[in-house]
Structure 1
Amino acid sequence: MTKKTTFSFFNLKTVALLVAFFGFTAANAQYCIPVDDCTDGDLILNVEFAGIANPTDCSPGGYGDFTASVDPAEVEIGGVYTMSVEVGAGWSVETVGLWIDFDNNETFDPSEFYLVGTGSGSVVEADLAIPGDALVGTYRMRICVKADSVPYDDPCNPAAGFGEWEDYLVNVTDPLSTPDLDFSNSVTVFKSGENLNITSGSILGKVEVFDLSGKLIAAQNNIASSNVTINLSAANQVLLVKVQSEEGYTTTKKVIF
C-alpha cells in the first residue's frame, strides 16, 4: 500500500542570504552522525527521488551515508518531484521525515524539516516542491524513518527507540535553456592517470575543481580551447568539476578521481 502527501518547501529568501558558496559546501561537510537501531524492522528499504533509486538494508548503527556512492538527485528551481520511501514493518506506525540543508550551515534546522508521511511495510510518498527562490547548488538531504514519530528538532541525537537515517545529495539547477543544455551535453570529464581531462563542443573559458567539502583544489582560467588537462594530486575521492564556456554557459560534472 502506498500513502502519499503533498507539501512545499519553506520560503528561502532569507535563508538564501546565508549561503556562503553556491551550494557545494554541503556535500561532505562536518555534519552530525546519528546513531539508531534498525535491526527490528524499523528501517528504510528503498529511496526514489529525482533520479535517485537506492535499495538498502539496515545500515550499521542505523545510519547510511550515500553522498559519495549515489549520484545527487537532480532537481530544478520551481519543479515538483515525488519522494518515495519504502519502510519496514517493525512497528504499526513508521514515520518518514527529511531535512534539506538549504542554507548550507552544516546543520539540519527545524525549519528545514518536512514530514513525508506514515506507513508500515509500505511505500510512503510526498510531492516535494523546490522553491522558486532556491539558489543553484548542491545540498545535503537527510531522510529518517522512526517507529512512531520523527524528532523534527533533533537530526543528530535520536530519542530512544528504533529507526534508520540516510544522507543523500540534492543538486538544484536553473531550468536549462537549449544553449545551456547543448553545452552541458557536449562536455566530457574523465581521469587519465593523475590528469583530469575536460573536452567540450564549445570553446572553454574556465574550469574549477572542488572536493565534496566545497574546497577549491584546482582552477584554470582563460582556456580559449575546446579541451584542457589539469594535473591533480587528489586521489580516491569524488570531485565536482564546474565547466564554463566562453559564452558563459555553465555545467557541473561529477567524477571519481
Structure 2
Amino acid sequence: MKNLLLPILLTFTSYTYAQTYQGCIDAPNGLYPENIYIPNCGGNIEYITEYGFSGEYSKVQLSAGIAYEFKGSIHSDYLTITDESGDEILVSGSNIVNFTPMEDMIIRFYLHTNENCGSDFDDLKMRSIKCTSVPTSYCAPILDCSDGAAILEVSTSMFTHQSDCSENGYIDYSGQYHIPAYFQEPIDLSVKVGNGWYEQSVSVWIDFNRNFQFEENEFYFLGSGTNTTINGIINIPEHIEIGEYHMRIRLSTVSENHATWDKACDVSEYYGETEDYMLLYTHPISTNEIEAKKVRWSPNPVHDQLMIQNFDQVNTIIITDLIGKTILKTESKAKINVEKLPKGVYVIQLLMKDGTEQKSKMIKK
C-alpha cells in the first residue's frame, strides 16, 4: 500500500509561477501512480488516484481531438497540465481545467494546494479526469496483485478456470475461455481470492449492449472476503438475447461501499486483479446433445499413446494423480505420449475451448 506516514520534510524553495499564470511544475512528492493512466472516456468521472498528495503528478495518455476535463479535490487545488517531459505547460488553473490535444500524447497532471505551488502531506488528494468518446476496445486497468490480492479461480456449475497473479494485475481471457450460461437462468458464480488484504471485494460487469463500456445497469457486486471463495448469483435481465457478451471480474482491496459500479477501469485502488472472459449465453442443451459434444479418448487402460478424438475442440489436457498433483499438462493434440508415467490410476482433465471441462479416470498399465 502507498506509504501514508509523514516523512521528515526537508526545507525547499517552491518556484512560483502565479505571476505569469503559467502553472506549477515542481513535484517534491514525485509521480503517483507509477503507471500511465489511460482514460476509458465513457462520460463518467474516472479517478486517477483517490490517495494522492499535493506536490505530486500523474501521467495520462490522451487521444487527439477528445476534450478532457481535469479536476482536483477542492476548489483551491491548483492544477497544471504539461507535456510528457514536464517542460511545456499546456494549461493550468484552479480545481478544474480543460484541454483538447491536437495529437495523441502523454501529459503530466500536477496538483498543488494553491497557485503559489504549495504542497504538503496533511490531506489526501484526488486527481480525476472526465472525457467522452466512442471506444473501440475495453480498458485495461493496471493493478498490483503480487501481494496476494489475486483471483485464483473462477467457476460456475459448468466452468472452472484456475489462474495466478497476472502481469500488471490484468489479463484478458475473452478470446480463450467462454463461461456458458443458459437463457433466463441465473449464474451461480464462485471466485476464489488470495490473502492480500483484510478487506477485499469482488465485482462483476457484463457488457450487454456491446459498447465497450461497463455501465451501472451491467454491474453486479458478488461479495467480500479474503483468502476464501466468494459466491454470488448473477441474474441476467429478461430482455437479453442469446449471444456472446464480454464479462469482467474484478478483485480490489476495498470494502463493499467502495466497490461501486464505476470502478471497472479504475487504477486508483492500486491493489487487486481484473480478469476478462466471454459469457456464452445460450439455450439449454439436451442430454443427447451433451453426449454428442463429448470428446472421446482411448485406450483405457493405456500403455504408451493416448489417442484424443476431436482434439480440436480441446484447449488444454491435464493429467493428475488421485490427490490432485499435476503430472502432465499439454496443449491439445491427437496423440499424447504417456509411456513414462508409472503404472497406476490417474485423472485426465480436458479443458474445452467453449469453457467447459471433462474429467474421467485413466488407468496406466
Query: Which amino acid in structure 2 is aligned with residue 87 of structure 1?
Result: V
| 1:89 maps onto 2:195 in alignment | yes
Tell me which residue corresponds to 1:106. 212
Correspondent of 1:130 among 191, 214, 236: 236
Tell me which residue corresponds to 2:175. 68
Tell me the distance in 2 between the aligned counterparts of 1:50 and 1:168: 16
**Could you say what secondary structure the match of 2:263 adopts?**
coil
Paired residues of 2:142 and 2:270 also in contact (CA < 8 A):
no
Correspondent of 1:169 among 278, 292, 298: 278
Paired residues of 1:38 and 1:62 also in contact (CA < 8 A):
yes
> Aligned in 2, Cα 1:121/1:52: closer, same or farther, shift over 3 Å?
same
TM superposition score normalised by structure 2? 0.40
* Aligned-residue identity in percent: 34
Tell me which residue corresponds to 1:59. 166
Paired residues of 1:46 and 1:87 also in contact (CA < 8 A):
yes
**Could you say what secondary structure the match of 1:111 adopts?**
helix
Correspondent of 1:46 among 146, 153, 157: 153
Tell me which residue corresponds to 1:116. 222
Paired residues of 2:206 and 2:245 also in contact (CA < 8 A):
yes
Kindly indicate whether structure 1 or structure 2 has the higher relative contact order, using CA contacts under 8 Å at least 6 residues apart: 1
More strand by share: 1
> Aligned in 2, Cα 1:50/1:138: closer, same or farther, shift over 3 Å?
farther
Tell me the distance in 2 between the aligned counterparts of 1:105 and 1:127: 24
Q: Which has the larger radius of gyration?
A: 2
**Could you say what secondary structure the match of 1:37 adopts?**
coil
Unaligned runs of 5+ in 1: 1-28, 189-252
Tell me the distance in 2 between the aligned counterparts of 1:182 and 1:95: 38
Report how far residue 74 of structure 1 moved.
1.3
Paired residues of 1:50 and 1:74 also in contact (CA < 8 A):
no
Tell me the distance in 2 between the aligned counterparts of 1:131 and 1:111: 10
| 1:155 maps onto 2:261 in alignment | no
Paired residues of 2:252 and 2:272 also in contact (CA < 8 A):
yes
Tell me the distance in 1 between the aligned counterparts of 2:183 and 2:176: 24
Paired residues of 1:50 and 1:73 also in contact (CA < 8 A):
no
TM superposition score normalised by structure 1? 0.56
Unaligned runs of 5+ in 2: 1-135, 296-352, 355-365
Report how far residue 182 of structure 1 moved.
5.3
Report how far residue 76 of structure 1 moved.
1.5
